[in-house]
Amino acid sequence: MAHKLLRSIVMKGLAAVVCEAVEAGRRAGYEDWVRGQIAAELAGDGHGTIDRFISGSAKHAARRAEEMNAVAGYCHALGTPSHMSTAARDSLMELAGAEVKSA
């Protein structure tokens, strides 16, 4: 059961992120571009990507949190949900040891 739940973190979270990004891309007129960016990441070196996500998030958490705050604001302006972007911002803020600020 633990394996199924741990896998669900990735698969359901990834699905939610992809849906949010594609919807925002569609509303901004860049759906094909967003889909291409996602496909390129998914086709890459999986283990290398995991390592890059972990080390990069720790090293650049504060800057990335600010960027995700801007992303959430952009999604809001497009009229699309930003649940995953806001959650990423909050997670990065926590990783940076900073107080969470909303968009």
Q: What is the pLDDT of residues 26-81, one digit of tens each?
A: 999 999 999 999 999 999 899 999 999 999 999 999 999 999 999 999 999 999 99
| DSSP code, position 45 | -
What radius of gyration do the chain's Cα atoms show? 14
Specify the pTM.
0.88
List the alpha helices (DSSP H) in 1-103. Answer: 2-28, 31-42, 46-59, 61-78, 83-96
